[in-house]
């Protein structure tokens, strides 16, 4: 029996008054890359047989994309401009939810608002402090990229002395850099590119995993039984299909992103001080001003 299609998702919004001009400038520069096709028409694409599904992958993402869609090839090495995401929807997804009634939405919203995020972040910080004091193995290289988060019982395993040269005020905030271009598929045959959050304090992944587990344990969030992979989507070819995300056609474009990933691997898109956790409706929409955004149904401010 297929799982229920998600209606909402829990996320960390990335667009703030400070990060907005950074993202705007970065995406404008990216749109001028030689690999970006300014002609928004998808043209004619060659239909391809769908590849086998990867294990432990979600069937859905926050854009409402379904990985069962049939891929088609875009012009080799190029990506249509419509596939480049606008600034407004940028976020880090913690998990998806099936809230099919107002009562369920209200319950999840109240649960979010009842969580003291500052206390939760402080617990993560103190756990890192204790790990450091007990001389656990230390990461000696560079700030970690936020990739696969460990299980809740394994959230805190090591800490870097460099991370704790920060002031106590800095430790009460989550500051991340969105860097590079990455894909969860083969670079030569991909549909989505994302920027990876780099957290010098190494706490973001643990904070998000703890928060995610709370929502799973309360029954609000779908347990996808896979590691948490925090990422900010920069390119998604579902938006470049002839009829957009809501097309009845289950065909998506694939393109070779190898050169694009190489050129943008050191790019810092923006530095963001994360101050909010939100529950949003699936599928970004234009607001009254014409800006594309996700509709927030609940939020919890912290770190200010």
The answer to whether position 69 is within a domain reads yes
Domains in the chain: how many in total?
1
For 167, the token pair is: 């002031």
DSSP state of 102: H
Whole-angstrom Cα distance, residue 98 to residue 151? 22
Residue 287 domain flag: yes
Contact in structure between 79 and 237 (CB atoms under 8 Å): yes
Quote the pTM value: 0.78
> Tell me, what CATH number does 32's domain have?
3.90.1140.10
Q: What angle do CA 35, 198, 162 make, to 5 degrees?
A: 145
Residue with tokens 């099936």: 98
Q: Residue with structure tokens 């991370």?
A: 163
Pairing of strands 276-281, 91-97: unpaired
Asked if residue 27 belongs to a domain, the reply is: yes
Starting at the edge strand found earlier in the chain, the sheet holding 91-97 runs 91-97, 8-13, 276-281, 296-301
Question: How far apart are alpha carbons 218 and 300 in whole angstroms?
Answer: 17
* In-domain check, residue 42: yes
pLDDT at res. 158: 37
Inside any domain, residue 261: yes
d(CA 243, CA 262): 30
Residue 147 maps to a domain: yes
Return the number of other C-beta atoms located less than 10 Å from residue 200's C-beta.
18
Reading the chain (304 residues) residue by residue, the pLDDT tens digits are 457 899 999 999 999 999 999 999 999 999 999 999 876 544 444 334 443 444 444 444 565 554 444 444 445 568 889 999 999 999 999 999 999 999 999 999 999 999 999 999 999 988 877 877 775 544 433 444 544 444 443 443 333 444 444 444 456 789 999 999 999 989 999 999 999 999 988 899 999 999 999 999 999 999 988 889 999 999 999 988 755 555 444 567 899 999 999 999 999 999 999 999 999 999 999 888 888 999 999 999 998 7
Q: Which domain holds residue 179?
A: 8-301
- Please say whether the beta carbons of 176 and 197 come within 8 A: yes
In DSSP terms, which residues pair with 255 in a beta bridge? 190
What's residue 62's pLDDT?
Answer: 64
Residue 3 in domain:
no
Residue 1 lies in a domain: no
């Amino acid at each position: 029996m297929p799982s229920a299609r998600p209606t909402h998702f829990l996320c960390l919004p990335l667009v703030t008054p400070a990060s907005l001009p950074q993202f705007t400038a970065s995406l404008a520069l990216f749109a001028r890359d030689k690999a970006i096709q300014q002609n928004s028409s998808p043209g004619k694409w060659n239909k391809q047989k769908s590849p086998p599904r990867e294990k432990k992958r979600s069937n859905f993402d926050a854009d409402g994309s379904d990985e069962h869609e049939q891929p088609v090839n875009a012009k080799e090495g190029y990506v249509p401009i419509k596939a480049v995401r606008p600034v407004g929807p940028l976020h880090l997804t913690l998990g998806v939810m099936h809230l099919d009634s107002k009562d369920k939405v209200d319950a999840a919203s109240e649960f979010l608002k009842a969580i003291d995020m500052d206390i939760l972040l402080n617990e993560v910080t103190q756990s890192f402090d204790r790990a450091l004091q007990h001389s656990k193995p230390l990461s000696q290289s560079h700030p970690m990229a936020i990739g696969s988060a460990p299980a809740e019982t394994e959230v805190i395993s090591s800490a870097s002395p460099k991370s704790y040269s920060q002031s106590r005020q800095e430790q009460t905030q989550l500051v991340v850099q969105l860097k590079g271009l990455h894909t969860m598929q083969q670079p030569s045959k991909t549909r989505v590119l994302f920027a990876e959050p780099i957290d010098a304090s190494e706490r973001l992944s643990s904070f998000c995993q703890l928060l995610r587990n709370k929502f799973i344990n309360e029954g609000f969030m779908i347990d996808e039984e896979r590691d948490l992979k925090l990422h900010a989507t920069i390119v998604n070819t579902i938006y470049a299909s002839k009829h957009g995300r809501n097309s009845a056609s289950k065909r998506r474009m694939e393109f070779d992103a190898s050169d694009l990933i190489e050129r943008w691997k050191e790019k810092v898109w923006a530095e963001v001080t994360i101050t909010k956790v939100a529950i949003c409706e699936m599928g970004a929409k234009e607001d009254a001003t014409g800006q594309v955004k996700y509709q927030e149904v609940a939020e919890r401010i912290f770190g200010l």
